[in-house]
Amino acid sequence: MKNFLEEVNARIGGVALQNCYHCMKCSSGCPMAEVMEYQSNEIIRMVQLGEREKLLNSSAIWLCVSCETCVTRCPNAVDIPRMIDVLRQMSLEAGIKPAEPEVVAFHRAFLDTVKLGGRVNEPLMMVSYKARTGTWFKDLVMGLKMLLKGKLSLVSPRTRNRTVIHRIFKRTSKL
Ligand code: SF4
Ligand code: SF4
């Protein structure tokens, strides 16, 4: 049976996490470092040490914004955003209640609209997000202002061949 490090490495499928020599170049450039309880290189260390429960229950894995600054700065090309995606997936598979439910709701709302039309539809995404979080009136004024300034489009282009999109979702939607 694989240990936590081996399992995460296998699912990353790229540079193994043992290549990290903890220079902290990733963490020092991370725009979310201030709010994440574990820095990116700390997360790697925790995977190396097998701290599965702690990591899968952490909010850090949900607060990463996948900007890829860390992997760009890493001298060893350790793919931290990919590792974090793997940890998120493992957390959901384990049935753990996400430490940042609104972030998960946002991801799901985004995917709802892509599933429907092949592309993001912002108003639909907002409705889906609000319905998932019950925060109907939060940011209402800002939303209206954005709409009036043309920053939100009520219509968005749809992908012509949506059968392909539906097929992708069917094959990959496990959770
Ligand atoms: S920059 Fe790369 S080698 Fe340095 S700590 Fe981060 S992941 Fe490890
Ligand atoms: S991808 Fe995530 S961990 Fe890496 S720099 Fe961006 S926010 Fe930080």
Distance of CA 23 to the CA centre of its chain: 24
Nearest-CA residue for ligand 1 atom 6 is 26
Who has greater pLDDT, 58 or 117?
58
The Cα 36–Cα 43 span in angstroms is: 10
- From the CA of 91, how far away is ligand 1's center (Å)? 23
Q: What are the pLDDT digits (tens) for 88-116?
A: 999 999 999 999 999 999 999 999 899 98
Q: Has residue 61 got a pLDDT over 90?
A: yes
pLDDT band for position 65 (cuts 50, 70, 90): very high
Q: Which of 30, 38, 47, 85 to mutate to test the pocket of ligand 2 (most atoms within 8 A of CB)?
A: 30
Number of CB atoms found within 10 A of residue 154's CB: 9
**Of 87, 86, 74, nearest to 30 (Cα)?**
74
Q: What is the residue-averaged pLDDT of the chain?
A: 93
- Ligand 1 atom showing the smallest separation from residue 27 Cα: 6
17 Cβ contact list (under 8 Å, min separation 6)? 5, 8, 9, 44, 47, 48, 78, 83
Write the DSSP string, 79-140.
-HHHHHHHHHHHHHHTTPPPS-HHHHHHHHHHHHHHHHHSS--HHHHHHHHHHHHT-TTTTH
**Ligand number with the minimum distance to the CA of 78:** 1
**Is 3 a pocket residue for ligand 2 (Cβ < 6 Å)?**
no
> Rounded to two decimals, what is the model's pTM?
0.87
**Is 142 a pocket residue for ligand 2 (Cβ < 6 Å)?**
no
Q: Which helix (H) or strand (E) holds 70?
A: helix 69-73
Q: Has residue 42 got a pLDDT over 70?
A: yes
Cα torsion 33, 5, 89, 163: sign: positive
User: What is the radius of gyration, based on Cα positions, of the chain?
Assistant: 18
- From the CA of 71, how far away is ligand 1's center (Å)? 8
Nearest-CA residue for ligand 2 atom 5 is 30
